[in-house]
Chain A
Amino acid sequence: MNIYSIAYKNLLRKKTRTALTAGGIMLSTWVLATLLGFNRGYQQGLNRDIDNMGFQVLLTAKGCPYEAATLMLKGGTGLRYMPENVVSTVYKNPEVEKVTPMLMQGVFDPNKGENGAVAAYLGVDAATFPGMKPYLEFKQGGWFTDNKAYEAVLGYEAAELETREVGDKMLIPGVDREIKVVGVLKRSGTQDDGTIFLPIEAVQKLFGKQGKLTGLGIKVKKDADLDAFENKLYDLPDVQVVSMAQVKTTIMNLVNSARVIVMGIAGIALIIAMAGVINTILMSVMERYAEIGIIKSMGALPLDVFKMIWVETAILCGLGGAAGIGLAFLTARLAEAAVRYFLPYAPNGALVALDGGITAFSFALILCGGLLSGIYPAWRAARVRPLEAIRSEGE
């Protein structure tokens, strides 16, 4: 006989009540762990996405820079154009290590999906683009080498979507031109997975955009002053400077302000769960006044009774918290899907990154909250006088 098994068995006495209370704790743990995991996952994903772009600065034609950046990240369309000669202008700057010109083109394909969809093609420079993305690995084939060739490299998901392999031909809708697939990339966990890469001059020719670009990726030398360089670029006419560092901060700020609200909700959920714990344990103490009195008449000290009730609270919160953590792991993918649906931009890869630290922190927080809630009921129980048991006997 020990107080742990007494406490545990007492929780089984009112199963529904115990289950409801533990359920409340489970939900608040779930919300907490998921939010913390999301915060970490989103940040990691965003960093990865932006670092994997291979360049720190992106030049686009004038327009809203963040819209442009978002479109770039999502692989969207509707971008404005800038003249090709910016390449040489930019390259003259001593800070520049590499530049790579890009031309994004979206084509509406009426045969895709139920109502048609936009297929996006990214024209890239065969000479410079692969060097900026050294992490891209091929599942099949390799990069095109001729900027004029009607050839394509497909991202992993794009290849699955188009059901094409190396050697297959694919038709570009609207311009009725067949191109040959020369490479399929391995999954990289970035937006490149969904992209169809074409040689830049081929895209210019196919869509009549000779001498035009939608973007220019700039890789800056390691020891260069990034801020000063960006300031110089601002002087260029008709050009937007998108600093990936700024994009990162801006997106993180947006996400953080939303997170403050959601963390508030998590806090309220925690408080409600704690109120539930106080209520449940207090009720269970009240119902057992006589029993507690008997236990004390049999030689239990106030501290023993306090411990017994506290252990009960800890078991309740521990089980609820563990279930909440489990639920968070189980629903991480689901939560991700929901986040992707509601946020304008979400990075690739795992959005809800649950790890040991987050798990331990959420569990510890819930347990502390629970133990705090248990203090009052346990104190009430500890104060029960043995006599009260006998008094309630009546004649």
Chain B
Amino acid sequence: MENNIVISAQDLSKVYRRGSEEVRAVDGISFEAFAGEMVAITGPSGSGKTTLLNLLGCLDNPTSGTLSAGGREVFGGGRAPGERELTLLRRELFGYVFQKFYLIPTLTVEENIMLPGAFYEAPGAKAALDVMRLLGIERRYRHLPGELSGGEMQRVAIARALINSPKVVLADEPTGSLDSRRAGEINEILRSLTRQGITVVMVTHNLELAGRADRRLEIRDGKIHAA
């Protein structure tokens, strides 16, 4: 099992300062995610789910604790990598999916998916077609995001996250703005990724969907309440 650990966090904390007040958004969380598993993070609003997910995805720097990703120590022992190192790490390891999709409205579905290719050597049209087929949006490839339904937009966003063949997909309330049928579909898609060995860490409010994950992590006040 040891070898299959993709993300490992030890005593991870993130403290925000609001004036003299300290907010311990993430408070000493230790957590490991294995290859090909789906972990659901739940908890009340403001409990620190998003902050934790951002820390795991190396989008944010922890205040303390250590974080290893893809077998390498990223944060820890006073080490804080530079922006370039973090960017390269994100290219290699992570795909991100957000509640609000964040597609670029001026680009077509295909162009949105192939966006990383504008900045570095990334998989091209063939790979884009493969992920579009996987997500059932290949017929929409010439459409602009504005012409799609919410469910379709989230599929495009997932396709964009997958184009780089990430090891981990981090999804922050990916079904939050969808109706329950679409939410179920998106959840199924994310679930199916685990069969290719991709680790999916998903924040959700939907307890039913969380129940379909391999593991559930409940957060309260920045701490793991129940696993």
Contact = CB atoms under 8 A, between A and B. Distances in A.
Contacts of A308: 118
B46 interface: yes
Given A299-B119, A390-B54, A1 B106 contact: no
Interface string A369-395: 000000000000000001101100101
Q: Closest 4 interchain pairs by CB?
A: A299-B91, A9-B106, A300-B119, A304-B119
A233 interface: no
Contacts of B207: none
B107 A9 contact: yes
Nearest to A298: B116
Nearest to A301: B87
Nearest to A13: B106
Nearest to B117: A1
Interface in A277-298: 290-291, 293-298
B100 A393 contact: yes
B119 A295 contact: yes
A291 B142 CA distance: 20
B90 A297 contact: yes
Interface in B88-119: 88, 90-91, 96, 98-100, 102, 104-107, 111, 114-119
Given A297-B90, A304-B119, A6 B107 contact: yes
Most buried by A among B45, B106, B118: B118
Interface in B1-54: 45-46, 50, 54
A291 B102 contact: yes
Interface in B56-100: 59-60, 83-84, 87-88, 90-91, 96, 98-100
Nearest to B164: A299
Interface residues of A, number: 29
A6 B54 contact: no
Given A294-B102, A295-B119, A387 B60 contact: yes
Interface residues of B, number: 33
Contacts of B98: 294, 389-390, 393
A395 B117 CA distance: 31
A390 B172 contact: yes
A257 interface: no
Interface of A: 1-3, 5-6, 9-10, 12-13, 290-291, 293-302, 304, 308, 386-387, 389-390, 393, 395
Contacts of B172: 390, 393
A73 B102 CA distance: 70
A387 B54 contact: yes
A354 to B, nearest CB: 36
Contacts of A13: 105-106
23 contacts: A1-B118, A2-B117, A3-B119, A6-B115, A6-B118, A9-B107, A10-B106, A12-B106, A290-B102, A291-B102, A294-B96, A294-B102, A294-B104, A295-B115, A297-B90, A298-B164, A301-B83, A387-B60, A390-B59, A390-B98, A393-B98, A393-B100, A395-B46
Contact of B114 (A1, A290, A294, A390): A1
A390 B157 CA distance: 14
A295 B119 CA distance: 9
A393 B171 CA distance: 13
Nearest to A307: B119
A295 B83 CA distance: 14
A296 B87 contact: yes
Given A1-B111, A294-B102, A300-B119, 15 more contacts: A1-B107, A1-B118, A2-B118, A6-B115, A12-B106, A290-B102, A294-B96, A298-B96, A298-B115, A299-B119, A301-B83, A304-B118, A389-B98, A390-B54, A390-B59
A298 B50 contact: no
B59 A387 contact: yes
Nearest to A290: B102
Contacts of B84: 301
A261 B111 CA distance: 50
